[in-house]
C-alpha cells in the first residue's frame, strides 16, 4: 500500500502510533501540559494522551499560548513524536523552534490535508522528506 507523502515544515524523523483527531484542538486549555492528555471536555478524543504519538490535527484552534504548552510537553519529554497538520500552525511550530534553539529534541512538523491524514497507517515511520512507511 502506498501512503501519502507529507510536506515537511520542520523536517525530522518520527515513528510511533498515529493518533488522528476528529476535531480541531487548542493546546492552550485543551491539552494538560503536565501529562499530555487531551482535557478539552467536548473534544471527541478527550482523555487520550498525545505523547509519543504521530499527532494528526485536521486543524488547530488558535491561541498564542499553544506554543508554550507544546514547549512544556517537549521539556518534560511527553510531546508528540510528530505533528501532522491539515493547516500549518505557526504558533505550534514556534514551540518546536524554541525547543530546538534550547537544545531539546522537538517533534518534526509536517503538512497533510485531513483526507490524506485518514489514509495513514495505525503506526508509522516518517523520514525527513515526509515519506511514510508502516511500523510492523
| 63 in active site | yes
End-to-end CA distance of the chain: 13
Task: Kindly name the residue from 15, 26, 35, 63 that is annotated as catalytic.
Answer: 63
C-alpha cell at 44: 471527541
Cα 31 from Cα 113, distance rounded (Å): 22
Catalytic residue ranges: 63
Amino acid at each position: 500500500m502506498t501512503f501519502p507523502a507529507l510536506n515537511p515544515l520542520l523536517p525530522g524523523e518520527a515513528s510511533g502510533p498515529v493518533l488522528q483527531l476528529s476535531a480541531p484542538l487548542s493546546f492552550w486549555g485543551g491539552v494538560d501540559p503536565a501529562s499530555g492528555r487531551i482535557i478539552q471536555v467536548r473534544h471527541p478524543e478527550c482523555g487520550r494522551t498525545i505523547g509519543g504519538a504521530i499527532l494528526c490535527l485536521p486543524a488547530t484552534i488558535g491561541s498564542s499560548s499553544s506554543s508554550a504548552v507544546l514547549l512544556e510537553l517537549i521539556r518534560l519529554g511527553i510531546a508528540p513524536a510528530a505533528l501532522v497538520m491539515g493547516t500549518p500552525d505557526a504558533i505550534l511550530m514556534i514551540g518546536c523552534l524554541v525547543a530546538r534553539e534550547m537544545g531539546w529534541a522537538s517533534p518534526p512538523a509536517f503538512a497533510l490535508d485531513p483526507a490524506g491524514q485518514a489514509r495513514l497507517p495505525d503506526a508509522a515511520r516518517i523520514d525527513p522528506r515526509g515519506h511514510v512507511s508502516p511500523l510492523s
